[in-house]
Amino acid sequence: ARRLLEGPLAAEGFDLRELALFAAAIENAIHGETASVVRDIYQMLGKSIEDALLSFNETASVIDAYMASYILGANPVDMTQDELMNAIEELHPTWKETQHFLREVQREVLDQHEDSISFDRVATVAEEAAARFGQWQSRECMAMKAQLVQMEDKPGSGRVRLGDFYHGALHGGKWQFSETTEYLRQLGTLDETDASALRVIIPNYINSPSNCLASSSFYAVCCIDECGELLQRLERSIGSSHASHLEIIAAFKSLPPPSSAIPGDDWKLSDGLVRRLEEVATFHGGAFVPLYGRLFAQWLHHAYPRECPFPHLSGTTQPRRPDDYEQQTEQESTASEEEMMRHMEEARARRSGGSDDNSPEDGLCSSMWTMQEELVLPQAHPRTKRMKASTLRSAFRIVAIVGAVGSLLLALQTVLRPAWLAQKEGNEARCHSV
């Protein structure tokens, strides 16, 4: 199976049918994992999978234990029920709200008077709770964003001084704002335009792996990328993955204004943004701008500084979960109180000295703006003639990150090998990118 993934498919990519089979294989593997965890929880609670029919309240206990292990990334086999529930109550401040969410899901999935609930029905509730959790969890992400916006160095900049960021952790009750400077740098959340006044980029921080709460062997539940929805709406309006700068400007009128815009004002693209978009079009030969490229993502960040992350060049950052960062670097991901205080003191001295971040190098004139392109689809660039399956490679990197295991590879071999053999026999020259 691994040879299949790294051989013909890696060279030519997926067609639509193969992509559907790939997605079905992943979905099937995720369902199998959920059932396996619920089975472990039955064992932890001393319940029989074959014989036990649970009441509504007993089902609630299983679902709570499932979600607690899901959020903590814990193996229920290694813990007692009391240990698991004590850990989630201590480490997850909004656990009570999460339990209310779980009861809503349970009531919606099960029949109103269903009180003899089989293992399969309990597993169905667990699957539905996991499927809905990301959307429900996004409320906490929006609350975090609002806290960061309150600390913005300047209204609408999408940035928070590092000293203010740490002040929120030490004195503002915002315990999550406590990553070390080096870890923030690896995450790609730091604006280091001025080395003496580091700033945290709000959307990069919100979307970073440090804020992923729930996980499985196949995926992690992280904050929903607000910029992704904006880009989808823009592409639907244009009807293409690339457009002229004039078409993009016209389509922007259908998008909601950024949260940095003044409420009530008739928001429109600034002259500086229009000029930068023209520069991107010129870079690509003047005819069009690829929507799925680094330069356009960089432009979107300046149009929506609180919603769209700044796109660092590939290889300059290495976003990882805190535990992975600590294991691989042997460094702490959480800053000490001394480190936080040092940055707070430096920020205070900077303000008292009359030095601030208000400079003509901010925003569109910042040295962070670079005319270096990276395309999801290289064939979209007029200077590139050969098609490359870069998106496929990105897909497999994602699969590697979330730790796809042997069962997934076996499932992929079963469902994809016939398609590959049919393709080989037909000797059909194709080059597909997803």
pLDDT digits (tens, 9 = 90+) for 243-301: 999 999 999 988 999 998 887 778 889 999 999 999 999 999 988 999 999 999 999 99
pLDDT digits (tens, 9 = 90+) for 147-167: 999 999 999 999 999 999 999
Q: What is the pLDDT of residue 173?
A: 76
pLDDT digits (tens, 9 = 90+) for 98-114: 999 999 999 999 987 77
Q: What is the pLDDT of residue 417?
A: 43
The pLDDT confidence band at residue 214, using thresholds 50, 70 and 90, is low
Q: What is the pLDDT of residue 59?
A: 94
What whole-number distance in Å separates Cα of residue 161 and Cα of residue 152? 7
Given a cut of 70, is residue 393 above it in pLDDT?
no
Q: In terms of Cα–Cα distance, which of 43, 45, 85 is closest to 64?
A: 85
The tally of CA atoms less than 13 A away on the side-chain side of residue 123 is 16
The pLDDT confidence band at residue 412, using thresholds 50, 70 and 90, is very low
Percentage of the chain beyond pLDDT 70 is: 80
pLDDT digits (tens, 9 = 90+) for 339-390: 999 999 888 887 766 555 444 335 666 778 999 999 976 654 444 433 344 4
Token pair in block for residue 307: 């919603």
Q: What is the pLDDT of residue 304?
A: 95
The pLDDT confidence band at residue 6, using thresholds 50, 70 and 90, is low
Q: In terms of Cα–Cα distance, which of 21, 105, 91, 97 is closest to 63?
A: 105
The mean pLDDT of the chain is 82
Q: What H or E segment, with its residue span, contains residue 221?
A: strand 220-221
Q: What is the pLDDT of residue 21?
A: 83
Determine the 3-state secondary structure of 434 from DSSP. coil
Percentage of the chain beyond pLDDT 90 is: 56
Interval 325-347 mean pLDDT = 92
What whole-number distance in Å separates Cα of residue 377 and Cα of residue 36? 38
Determine the 3-state secondary structure of 372 from DSSP. coil
Q: For residue 258, give the DSSP letter.
A: P
The CB density around residue 319, as the number of other CB atoms within 10 Å, is 18
Given a cut of 90, is residue 176 above it in pLDDT?
no
Q: What is the pLDDT of residue 57?
A: 92
pLDDT digits (tens, 9 = 90+) for 35-92: 999 999 999 998 888 878 999 999 999 999 999 999 988 889 889 999 999 999 988 8
The pLDDT confidence band at residue 175, using thresholds 50, 70 and 90, is confident
CB-CB contact of 10 with 430 (8 Å):
no
Q: What is the pLDDT of residue 361?
A: 39
Given a cut of 50, is residue 172 above it in pLDDT?
yes
CB-CB contact of 88 with 68 (8 Å):
yes
CB-CB contact of 330 with 336 (8 Å):
no
Q: What is the pLDDT of residue 425?
A: 42
What whole-number distance in Å separates Cα of residue 74 and Cα of residue 165? 30
Q: What is the pLDDT of residue 40?
A: 94
Q: What is the pLDDT of residue 403?
A: 42
Q: What is the pLDDT of residue 349?
A: 81
